[in-house]
Amino acid sequence: MRLLNRHHIRSELNKYGVKPRKKLGQSFLANVQVAQRIVDAAEIAAEDTVLEIGGGLGVLTEILVSRAKRVYVVEIDERLVAALREKLGDVGGLSVIHGDFLEMNLPDVKKVVSNLPFSASSPITFRILRELKPESSILMYQKEFAERMVAERGSKEYSRLTVAVNYIAEVEPLFEVPSHFFYPKPAVNSLVVRMTPRKGGIRARSDRVFYWMLRGVYSYPKKQLRRALQIWLKNLNVDRRLADDILDSVEHVDGKMRLRNLSVEELVRLSDHITDLIEEGVIPHPKDARI
């Protein structure tokens, strides 16, 4: 793209009849240097295959196709699909896919690069991690969201998202992008991160039980673990006094700890004990495995 600033993005959007929609997380990057930095961070080799989620007007796509062997770009908004096809349709090695990343059949790719639609950051992140499983991803998030992904144990940002992501991935913050580099200008800055699958980390006997337990107890992040377990058990129609038995059985996990102080390892041990109790018929089987 020869010229790229917010004014230019606005006129391109007008040209293709696109009125930016919050519901689709449409916030377009309007700075070439930032686009280049994002793609540089992906360290793309000439034989790489790459998926871009949410191509928009193709600011990142254009750079990606000049570096990778094959680029798949998925875009949900048909007017932007038309824009991508008109602007980049003839470029070799590029497949423009009209669809929803959360529903599509996933291509086999080594890397993911995306200025993520903030409206669907969480489900998209977990689909990348659990189903697509690329070697590495360079992803731009709203800063607050990314800060929860990289939060230190004990901090107020340390949450269910922190644990669920760190259970399966390593996340490294790379650089911040000010909100005035986007059109429309979002309320907050963005943060670019590198995400890679965690190798050799501790895993629960059942991923399903682990995520289910997280959803159950982390609804109450400020609470002490004992209290959060009691509430969860009660919601499951199990005698809440079982919480104390559970805490007695799991070593080095203290009911007085606040949830934000629990490590992934401690939660895995807790989850493995819950799995025992499910097998013994004391706790019902998980109905819900969403994250």
Quick one: 72 or 232, whose CB is closer to ligand SAH? 72
Exactly one of 45, 102, 188, 289 binds ligand SAH (CB under 6 A); that residue is: 102
Q: Report how far residue 63's alpha carbon sits from residue 89's, in angstroms, rounded to the nearest whole number.
A: 14
Closest C-alpha to 132, from 147, 145, 113:
113
CA 215 to the chain's CA centroid:
16
Residue 4 engages ligand SAH in binding (rule: CB under 6 A): no
The footprint of ligand SAH on residues 195-224 (CB under 6 A) is none
What are the beta bridge partners of residue 140? 115, 192
| 8 A C-beta contact, residue 97 and residue 70 | no
Instruction: Record the tokens describing residue 237, joined without a space.
Output: 């129609």
Min dist. Cβ of residue 29 to ligand SAH (A): 4
Stretch that binds ligand SAH, among 53-61, 195-203, 223-231, 233-241 (CB under 6 A): 53-61
Which span sits near ligand SAH by CB under 6 A: 52-60, 167-175, 193-201, 236-244? 52-60
Q: What is the dihedral of CA 145, 146, 147, 148, to 10 degrees?
A: 60
Q: Which residues, numbered 11-30, are part of the site for ligand SAH (CB under 6 A)? A: 24-29
Tell me how far apart the alpha carbons of residues 232 and 270 are, in angstroms, rounded to a whole number: 14
The position carrying tokens 């259970």 is 167
Residue nearest to ligand SAH (CB): 54
User: Looking only at residues 71 through 90 of this chain, which bind ligand SAH when binding is defined by CB under 6 A?
Assistant: 74-77, 80
Q: Which residues bind ligand SAH (CB under 6 A)?
A: 24-29, 53-57, 59-60, 74-77, 80, 100-102, 115, 117, 120
